Structure 1
Amino acid sequence: MPSSRLTMHYVLQDAADRLGFADTDIREVPWHALEPGHITGLVSALREDGYAPNTSSLYVNAIRGVMNEAWRLSLISHDQLLKMRSVKAAQGTRLGNGRNLRRSLIRELMAVCAADPRPQGLRDAAVIAILYGTGMRKSESVNLELAQVDPAERSLRVMGKGDKELIKYAPAWAFAKLDAWLAFRREQLPAGAEDDPFLFNRIRRGSHITRERITKHAIYYIARQRGEQVGVKIMPHDFRRSFITRVIEDHDLSIAQKLAHHSNIQTTASYDMRDDNERRRAVERFEL
């Protein structure tokens, strides 16, 4: 996806700067000339700068990808490739910054949206309902098209990571929020005008609904603003984390994996935030 390519470009450019190729375009860096010691030094520098282990892994994997391509183009030998692959990223883990949004909090978010008389109230309720009700990523919600919605099946066809076409299912209450927004939007259109091909519009000051698609930054702003209204810091990805945790709680890990469309079940397990809740409940039982 474009955002993933942009991330890799940034990582490789920063790695090149740290390896002594400052102000050099990453396409001009002699990656094939790197030795394992260069990568080991890069990992150490990242650790000293306070980078998390998973970020260090991102840098190492990005360089491995370049070295794989160098081997494919016969710029390095297979023995050199294996030596580069042997370098490990920093070990360890960090606690995630995300949170598990309970059902009661989602109801509070729906309430603050319902109390907002502006068009943003209906739109934001629909955005939150789709994110939480389907577990889709914010980038997927931004790219949703009206033609991809099947009201009868309560499903949405989205393009996920790796250019994979996926089917997401939404509960009835989430589809009701989406229907309310789309119906309101149609009412605001000039007579004879066609409906917009996308689901969510940008809304300017003065409650003016534009004919422009919402942006990923706007999704972030909606989560932050509505979260502040209920006294909680919320990031867009928290809706996906919470969806996966709910499915694991109510069903099992394998069903959650299928609904999250993860190729590796360990990825799904990393979204499980039940442990935090269970530890909290266990401690709360120790009353005086």
Structure 2
Amino acid sequence: MSLPEVQNPLALYLARLAPSSQLTMKYVLQDAADRLGFVEMDIHEVPWHQLQPGHVIALVAALREDGYAPNTSSLYVNAIRGVTNEAWRQSLISHEHLLKMRSVKPMAGTRLSKGKNIRRTLIRELMDVCAADPRPQGRRDAAIIAILYGSGMRKSESVNLDLAQIDFAERSLQVTGKGNKQLIKYAPTWAFTVLNDWLELRRSYLPEGQSDDAFLFNRIRRGSHITRDRITKHAIYFIAKQRGRQIGMDIMPHDFRRSFITRVIEEHDLSIAQKLAHHTNISTTASYDMRGENERRRAIDRFDL
């Protein structure tokens, strides 16, 4: 019996990523390969280990010319670095080559965040439109919004939540975050009340004798049929968009996390927000601060002589 092939640096790099990140990086690397001239080639067949620093510099320049944001440029460069690291581990390139590739920087600069700070009044409006929906989707969507906003978790974390990971007495939720890290998040009493309302409704739809689902949020088909399938990240996206339209607002799922962090910064401080957001660097937490221009003006107005 022979060992499986382990020399493809791209396959090794992708294997280290979460499934959702694999999809993103496959798209990024496919676009990078196309821009580098490998248009007709499968990305697994591209000789990534033969790339030179000049290729990556040209790629960054092309992204800049096409108007890509600095963060997007970083995504491309980091993806190529990840594959390059694996090529070095497989002795396909020298350490000197690795250092040269690592020396290439993505484009400098930042862009203002396009996210939103959803104020408490708007969260209440969202909960009201969900409550007015007599279908099972109403209670499920209210529970999703309550958990996303009440705990500040990411949509991918909410999708993967299981009942066994929830402590209703402590109002805590154990999630697997970025980097495959196990984290404990907390949510307020009102969020758990909304969550319990959804779970009670779901159980009421179960045929007699059948056990509850292991996961938290279900897909619901037309005709209000609650499936026994776990909801997807794409469904969370559409729920946020649909419920946002009902209150006249364009909402992305990550806006709930931004709003959670902003509120904690407002009512407590940046260090508490960092701990609740589980950010390694406090500068990352600061970038989530969505307080508006009026708040900044008020801060300046307080500088009286």
Shorter-chain TM-score: what band? over 0.9
- SS of the residue corresponding to residue 91 of structure 2 reads coil
Matched position secondary structure for 2:229: strand
The number of aligned residues is 284
- In the alignment, does 2:65 pair up with 1:48? yes
1:19 matched to 2:33: no
Deviation at 1:69, TM superposition (A): 2.0
Aligned to 2:13: none
| Offset, 1:214 | 1.3
- The normalised TM-score by structure 2 is 0.88
How far apart are residue 247 of structure 1 and its match? 1.0
The equivalent position to 1:68 in structure 2, one of 70, 85, 89, is 85
Question: 1:163 & 1:74 partners in 2: Cα distance?
Answer: 27
Aligned partner letter, 1:143: N
* Aligned mates of 2:95, 2:33 — CA distance in 1: 23
Unaligned 5+ runs, structure 1: 284-288
Q: CA deviation at 1:280?
A: 7.0
Alignment of 1:118-197 (within 5 A): 118-197=135-214
Task: Classify the secondary structure of the residue corresponding to 1:71.
Answer: helix
Quick check: 1:79 aligned with 2:79? no
Once the two structures are aligned, what percentage of the paired residues are identical? 78
In the alignment, residue 213 of structure 1 is paired with which amino acid? R
| Partner Cα distance (2:271, 2:285) in 1 | 9
SS at match of 1:193: coil
Q: Residues of 2 paired with 1:187 and 1:80: CA distance?
A: 62
1:71-108 deviation line (CA, Å, top 9, x unaligned): 22222222222222222211122222210001111011
Name the residue aligned to 1:5. 22
Give the counterpart letter for 1:36 in structure 2. P
- Over the aligned positions, Cα root-mean-square deviation in angstroms equals 1.8
SS at match of 2:88: helix
Structure 2 runs not aligned, ≥5 long: 1-17, 301-305
Task: Please give the per-residue CA displacement for 1:172-222, whole angstroms capped at 9, x wherever unaligned.
Answer: 000000011111111221222211111111112222222221111111111
Matched, 1:246 2:269: no
1:142-199: CA deviations, max 9, x gaps?
1111111111001111111121111111100000000111111112212222111111
- SS of 1:233's equivalent? coil
Q: How far does residue 54 in structure 1 lie from its aligned partner after superposition?
A: 0.9
Partners of 1:103 and 1:144 in 2: how far apart? 25
Q: Partners of 2:294 and 2:261 in 1: how far apart?
A: 14
Secondary structure at the counterpart of residue 274 of structure 1 = coil
Offset of residue 275 of structure 1: 4.7
**Change over 3 Å in CA distance of 1:114–1:280 after alignment to 2:** farther
1:225 and 2:242 are equivalent in the alignment: yes
Name the residue aligned to 2:277. 260
C-alpha distance in structure 1 between counterparts of 2:229 and 2:86, whole Å: 39
The one-letter code sitting in structure 1 at the alignment partner of 2:57 is T
TM-score (normalizing by structure 1): 0.93
